[in-house]
Chains A and B, each alone.
Chain A
Amino acid sequence: MAVPSYATRGERIWHYVFLGLCGLIFLFLIGPLLIIIPLSFNAEPYFTFSDAMLRLDPAGYSLRWYEDFFTSSAWLNSIKNSFIIGIASTVLATVLGTIAALGLSNRHMPARGAIMALLISPMIVPLIISAAAMFFFFSKIHLAQTYLGVILAHTALGIPFVVITVTATLSSFDTTLIRAAHSLGANPTRTFFKVVLPLVTPGVVSGALFAFITSFDEVVVVLFISGPEQRTMPIQMWSGIREQISPTILAVATMLVILSMLLLTTLELLRRRSERLRGMTPG
């Protein structure tokens, strides 16, 4: 966004002020995530930079909070739970959501708008309301305090993301490609696996990633419907923050920030791949 040559001096000044402003907003967005990374290596049990850390004295830094994490059975168990619940609900949400998206992208789909609104509602209804409602209902049908109950609840929460990303991919899907495949002699199965699937996969995978992160990060519903056995990592963090935040939580937070960076990179690669496959130039 270069300054046009006809810009006046005032406009040039404004332009740089604007860029400076944007820089500050970016700092606001990203700074907090970066600041906890060094803090998690604090040798002292505080939430702030010690003098030794500011002097860059190695003695001010330590891995003790990471050690704390990896030697605590409560934390490790909660990670295990988070992965079990996250993976199971992702698989369910992805399968159900993808099949439904195939139907939704059919232009003869009856009551499409209403159904779409319903499918997306778990994303819009505040979590605390879903949590309270599921608590009441799941208790009645004996699903509360079970793994299955938590998995089903997280599946419901993850579904909108799968439906949105897969229908978006399908709507930009060029149906002439299918006809082309047919006319070149491919049978429907072959067409599905060789043409449709490769083009749709990026949408499905990114929908699955969204569903996974939704479950992996979800506290409120688990707080209400889980029992002591289904303690997930967010629950462990939540109770830690509420009582007394130890820097162990910062170590966990740092690892989660790195995890989200990895997920983001994966998504970006998927996006590029899908654009390339469609013959668009990558940005």
Chain B
Amino acid sequence: MIKTRTFKGSTIVVAGLSTLALAVSAHAETLNIVSWGGAYTESQQKAYHAPWAAQNGDEIINIDRSGNALAGLRAQSQAGNVTWDLVDMLPADAMIACAEGLIEPLDHDALLAAAPDGTPPSEDFVDGALGECFVASIVYSNVVAFNTEMFPEDKQPSSIADVFDLENFPGKRTLLRKPINNLEWALVADGVAPEDVYDVLETEEGVERAFAKLDTIKDEVIWWEEGAQPPQLLADKEVAFGSAYNGRIFNAMVNENQPFEIIWDAQVFELDGWVVPTGKLDKVKDYLRFATDTQRLADQAQYISYGPARKSSSDLVSTHAETGIDMMPHMPTFPPNFATAIPKDDEFWADYGDELTQRFDAWLAQ
């Protein structure tokens, strides 16, 4: 206000605006949060959204579009009308979105909460959990599960090779309609050690070998595209085996009492987490800090069997909120489950994904 008269008006306006901005930030907002839907969104709702809303009155709208999140982000950014505030996506997609400038780079130690003992986020999160524009919240796994009622009690499948063994384990299978996971499993079933899978897949012979193995079960496969399909097909006994996200199977087993069992052999695990669309960081940073703190990640593990991406959360994982069963044996990271696990190689898929997808589609169309 020391300035000249002509500036006075605008200074008042600026002052007015900043109080208004303060008022707005204290005021309840609506956050459009994109996620995977189903049991997963439900677990987020219970562990993060509901407590956050109770704490400061924000309204959270769940949008089930993570399956097409990259396309959605591109479209919104092209349209100049970004309506999503926070998106749950895979690290591979996050890498692409980040390189295209669709999402915000994140300064993890400044943005995220430290562990209760003061360990900074950059040390508390597991390896690969913090990308340039990405912060993981869970470790999840792609597994094959089966309906125990489809096989005699004394002859239940137990390894990934059994999924490719039509003679001993007949019946339809449902697999993801993408090369990802299926090629890895085909090779393991064909005798490749889990740690060598991607080296073999980088060679032409390796790819041929994987497709040849898939050929042996091709006629018995129903291909799924939505995460909700495999548990449903297994429950309806339309299929004997189904590849799925481990949390969905857990949910069907525990909450719906379905007679499913997971084959942990050769599980393909990876991370999943948050990205912030460009321009939305200020709006969501408080929420993001809250939703990725140690307690919230541990809370989520009470509802769904995905491992928290923070080391400090692991010790807090206890029992399932509704049934009280011990969660640990259902986690991908539980040592007996983890023995033959394959970490998904994002870089491999970033490079060969286009070509292998086309080859896979051509193979399907034959």
Interface residues, chain A, CB within 8 Å of chain B?
Answer: 135, 138-140, 142-146, 227-229, 242-244
Q: Which residues of A are found within 8 Å of B152, using beta-carbon distances?
A: none
The listed residue (B63, B81, B226, B232) touching A242 by CB distance below 8 A is B226
Q: Which residues of B are found within 8 Å of A229, using beta-carbon distances?
A: 83
Q: A227-B76, A228-B63 are in contact. Are A144 and B81 (CB under 8 A)?
A: yes
Q: Which of B25-82 contact A (CB under 8 A)?
A: 32, 63, 65, 75-76, 78-81
Residues A142 and B80 in contact, CB atoms below 8 Å apart: yes
Closest to B65 in A: A228
The listed residue (A139, A142, A243, A244) touching B75 by CB distance below 8 A is A139
Q: Which residues of A are found within 8 Å of B80, using beta-carbon distances?
A: 139, 142
Closest to A228 in B: B63
Residues A144 and B228 in contact, CB atoms below 8 Å apart: no
Residues B79 and A139 in contact, CB atoms below 8 Å apart: yes
Closest to B80 in A: A142
- In angstroms, Cα B65 to Cα A243, docked, is 13
Residues B63 and A144 in contact, CB atoms below 8 Å apart: no
Besides the known contacts A228-B65, A244-B229, 17 further A-B residue pairs in the complex with CB atoms under 8 A apart: A135-B75, A139-B79, A139-B80, A140-B78, A142-B79, A142-B81, A143-B79, A144-B78, A144-B79, A145-B76, A145-B81, A145-B83, A227-B83, A228-B32, A242-B225, A242-B226, A244-B228
Residues A146 and B81 in contact, CB atoms below 8 Å apart: yes
- In angstroms, Cα B228 to Cα A143, docked, is 32
Q: Which residues of A are found within 8 Å of B32, using beta-carbon distances?
A: 228
A sample of 13 inter-chain contacts (CB < 8 A) reads A135-B75, A138-B79, A139-B78, A142-B79, A142-B80, A142-B81, A143-B79, A144-B79, A144-B81, A145-B76, A227-B76, A228-B65, A244-B232
Residues B228 and A145 in contact, CB atoms below 8 Å apart: no
Closest to B79 in A: A144
Closest to A136 in B: B78
How does the 8 Å CB contact mask read for B217-237 relative to A, with 1 for contact and 0 for none? 000000001101100100000
Q: How large is the interface on B (under 10, 10 to 19, 20 to 34, 35 or more residues)?
A: 10 to 19
Q: Which residues of A are found within 8 Å of B81, using beta-carbon distances?
A: 142, 144-146, 227
Closest to B63 in A: A228
- In angstroms, Cα B76 to Cα A142, docked, is 10
Specify which of A146, A228, A229 lies most central, judged by the most chain B CB atoms within 10 Å of its CB: A228
- How many residue pairs at the A-B interface have CB separations less than 8 Å? 37
- In angstroms, Cα B81 to Cα A143, docked, is 9
Closest to B233 in A: A244
Q: Which residues of A are found within 8 Å of B75, using beta-carbon distances?
A: 135, 139, 144-145
Interface residues, chain B, CB within 8 Å of chain A?
Answer: 32, 63, 65, 75-76, 78-81, 83, 225-226, 228-229, 232
Closest to B61 in A: A228
- In angstroms, Cα B232 to Cα A250, docked, is 19
Closest to A46 in B: B236
Q: Which residues of B are found within 8 Å of A244, using beta-carbon distances?
A: 228-229, 232
Q: A243-B228, A243-B229, A244-B228 are in contact. Are A228 and B78 (CB under 8 A)?
A: no
Q: Which residues of B are found within 8 Å of A228, using beta-carbon distances?
A: 32, 63, 65, 83
Q: Which residues of B are found within 8 Å of A139, using beta-carbon distances?
A: 75, 78-80
- In angstroms, Cα B32 to Cα A229, docked, is 11
Q: Which residues of A are found within 8 Å of B229, using beta-carbon distances?
A: 243-244
Question: Which 6 residue pairs are nearest across A and B when measured between Cβ atoms?
Answer: A144-B79, A139-B78, A139-B79, A243-B226, A142-B80, A243-B228
Q: How far is the CB of A50 from chain B (nearest CB, A)?
A: 15
Q: How far is the CB of A190 from chain B (nearest CB, A)?
A: 49
- In angstroms, Cα B63 to Cα A142, docked, is 22
- In angstroms, Cα B65 to Cα A242, docked, is 14
